[in-house]
Amino acid sequence: MNKGLLIVLSAPSGAGKGTIIKKLMDDDRSLKLSVSATTRSPRPGEVDGEDYFFLSREEFEDLVKNGEMLEHAEYVGNCYGTPKGPVERWLEDGLDVILEIDVQGGAQVKEIMPECVSIFILPPSMRELENRLRGRSTEQDEVVNARLEAARNEVHRAEDYDYVVVNDEVEVAAEEIRTIIAAEKHRFSRVSSIVERVLIDA
Ligand code: ADP
Ligand code: 5GP
């Protein structure tokens, strides 16, 4: 069986990653989304173990020390990381896995798993990013300002990614990502065994 595809999705906070991922997952029930660990506080409505594993800094650092994180990074004052176990198991089982992580984490994953596919989601403009971030009303003003500041640096990192998708319309952006995933599954390096199978069956 072919291994699953590891898909790294990054974007500045507020660009619409969460919204697009929800659409992708609703349309493809076999797609797995890695649940990250974080030291930030839950937003209203966020559920521990579903949106994130909400941990103390000490608990987070223990996981890192024990080698249980695939990658981890600090983002605007909080730690975020990807627990390794579930991602490795899903990939082995042939399931496609999405990591919704920041640009620092994206660079780490590219280094250790270069076969991953990386996609950077851009907002249509920085002004629209600010509107979305403020419109979401999940963060205090100073946190929104810090995230907008971080966003300017993150957008420059789009050049490190395999693909860039602009999230103007959610449905269009989701369709573009589906197309990228579909094309990546036909990359020769992922399907070379099919060539051998065709010859054997001759
Ligand atoms: P992220 O996960 O990247 O931080 P969210 O998915 O939470 O971003 O989206 C931020 C806000 O922008 C949310 O209020 C969401 O409803 C809104 N949003 C997302 N995509 C679009 C879009 N294409 N057009 C308009 N608003 C959007
Ligand atoms: P938020 O606090 O808005 O949920 O996430 C803030 C930032 O942290 C986003 O850019 C998000 O992609 C990133 N993030 C979420 N989980 C992880 C993770 O496991 N690792 C890394 N490196 N970044 C993450």
Best residue among 10, 19, 136 to mutate for probing ligand 1's pocket (most ligand atoms within 8 Å of CB) is: 19
Here the tokens at position 165 are 């998708």
Q: Is 125 in the pocket of ligand 1 (CB under 6 A)?
A: no
Task: Give the pTM.
Answer: 0.95
Q: Where are the beta strands (DSSP E) in the chain?
A: 6-10, 32-33, 37-38, 53-54, 69-75, 78-83, 97-100, 117-122, 163-166
Span from the CA of 43 to the centroid of ligand 1 (angstroms)? 15
Question: What is the distance in A from the centroid of ligand 2 to the CA of 146?
Answer: 14
Is residue 169 lining ligand 1, measured as CB closer than 6 Å?
Answer: yes
pLDDT at 53 over 90: yes
The average pLDDT across 41-62 equals: 97
Minimum-distance ligand 1 atom for the alpha carbon of 168: 23
Instruction: Among 44-58, 114-128, 181-195, name the one with the lowest average pLDDT.
Output: 181-195
Residue 82 CA to residue 109 CA, distance in Å, equals 10
